[in-house]
Amino acid sequence: MIIHKALFAGLVVIALLVCSGLSFAQQTPGPGAKPATVMPDVIQVPAAAQPSEHFDADAATEAYLAQIPASARSRSDAYFEGGYWLILWDFLYGVAIYLLLLYLGWSAAMRNFSERLTRFKPLQTFIYWAEFMAVTTILGAPLALYEGFYRERQYGLATQTLVPWLGDQLIILLVNLLLGGGIAMALFGVVRRLPRTWWIWGAGVSIVFFIFSVMIAPVFIFPLLNKYTVLDDPKITQPILSLARANGIPAQKVYMMDASRQTTRMSANVSGYGQTMRITLNDNLLRRGSPEEIQSVMGHEMGHYVLHHIAKDILYFSVVIVIFFAFLFWSLERGIARWGERWKIRGVGDTAIVPLVFLLGTLLGFVYTPFFNTHIRTNEHEADRYGLNASRQPDGFAQAAIHLGEYRKMSPGPVEEWIFFDHPSGRNRIYDAMRWKAENLQLFTPKSGH
């Protein structure tokens, strides 16, 4: 009964938000109109970055940064710095939702409901999971709508109107329902059978699921949201595939995705593992990037590939998963001893404990933020340097750093970069490129006789 009331209240909130969303959706440019991009589309190599005897990496970096209009910089700074606060709000909002589910007895009511529907334990777990997804999605909708939709439009980064955006969210929800439901059933099975050692086996099961998800994502999950096609323009693919061959990458194809369906952001990535590993560039990069810029970005992606970053990430996150399960093992028993009766949770194998697990996960994730970011940023920095050596396009890379500056602050302080940046800042990336150029000026000096 309580849950039905909550569902109803949630639906009312969503309906209100949909109405307000539609009203501002109409003010935005229709399809075909130029998206509100704020960084210059064509970036010239500034005089101070031209090859000369007095080439100076610092001066060249400043000259590149000077090409960014002040309005574009303040907009990007505001967007990115707002993201710092969102980390905090996401954390507090999430914790509030989980505490609500526990203290109001909703989690126990959801468990009771699943037990009335079936006597089959794994199915009870799945039903509980479905209820949990529904309730947390509804309660989380206001912040999710602001963060994922309204704010992206405010900063001119989104290209979707509300209905297609909601459609995407529904797909993501269904994927989480199925994959999350699968792992929840497996984990509760482990906890019930192995009450003393579940944290070790649970971590093992989670790692297997994690690797499985990484492997299937490029083939079965990402295509649910975007269209992936094999790029067949030889003017673009030929230099990329040549770069791949030169670096011992057995790629025969380059993939393109229609990111412009959702966003104006330029990006590229390496995804998958083993047989599903592939390099993909998005259509925003293809449309707005110069050939030098595309090659520099592809060099960076090849760096991820050659340096085995996905395998290393799997290893890194496997360690994090083991730490998380050890933390759960230690804290869940204590949590139940303290609050179990009040929250009507019977034990660690009771699905009603899920909000507490998420609360602890959110807490650990929040504290880990700078370490996650630093792990990823370190890989990105390695890929940057690899990409410069491979593509030999420092100016293309500087251009890319400026374009990516539409959604990432260009010149943060060092502590700020350490805590919040999962990629090197634009300034540091340009400086890396210019330092590389300073040591390779002979590649850019016109040969005599020309």
Q: Binding residues for Zn ion, per CB under 5 A? A: 380, 383
- Show the CA angle centred on residue 385, arms to residues 271 and 448, nearest 5°: 125
Cα gap 225→222, rounded to integer Å: 6
Minimum CB distance to Zn ion, residue 396 (Å) = 15
Asked if residues 362 and 98 have their Cβ atoms less than 8 Å apart, the reply is yes
Closer residue to Zn ion in complex, CB, 208/315: 315
Minimum CB distance to Zn ion, residue 298 (Å) = 11
Say what the alpha-carbon torsion angle 90, 92, 97, 98 is, to the nearest 10 degrees.
110
Asked if residues 409 and 425 have their Cβ atoms less than 8 Å apart, the reply is yes
Hunting for tokens 């952001």 — which residue is that? 265
Closer residue to Zn ion in complex, CB, 353/383: 383
Closest CA to 215 of 276, 269, 297, 263: 276
Asked if residues 152 and 263 have their Cβ atoms less than 8 Å apart, the reply is yes
Closer residue to Zn ion in complex, CB, 236/298: 298
Closer residue to Zn ion in complex, CB, 111/423: 423
Asked if residues 289 and 39 have their Cβ atoms less than 8 Å apart, the reply is no
Minimum CB distance to Zn ion, residue 303 (Å) = 8
Minimum CB distance to Zn ion, residue 423 (Å) = 7
Quote the tokens at residue 181.
């439901």
Closer residue to Zn ion in complex, CB, 385/435: 385
Cα gap 417→414, rounded to integer Å: 5
Asked if residues 74 and 89 have their Cβ atoms less than 8 Å apart, the reply is no
Closer residue to Zn ion in complex, CB, 154/269: 269
Closer residue to Zn ion in complex, CB, 350/432: 432
Q: Is 409 helix (H, G, I), strand (E, B) or coil?
A: coil
Minimum CB distance to Zn ion, residue 387 (Å) = 9
Phi/psi at 444 (5° precision)? -110, -10
Minimum CB distance to Zn ion, residue 301 (Å) = 6
Q: Is 279 helix (H, G, I), strand (E, B) or coil?
A: strand
Closer residue to Zn ion in complex, CB, 350/406: 406
Residue 182: CB atoms within 10 A of its CB come to: 15
Closer residue to Zn ion in complex, CB, 101/268: 268
Closer residue to Zn ion in complex, CB, 191/400: 400
Minimum CB distance to Zn ion, residue 368 (Å) = 20
Longest dimension (CA), the chain: 87
| Residue 158 C-beta-side C-alpha neighbours within 13 Å | 20
Cα gap 391→302, rounded to integer Å: 10
| Residue 220 C-beta-side C-alpha neighbours within 13 Å | 8
Q: Sign of dihedral through CA atoms 414, 419, 425, 429? A: positive
**Alpha-helical segments (H) within 217-279:** 234-246
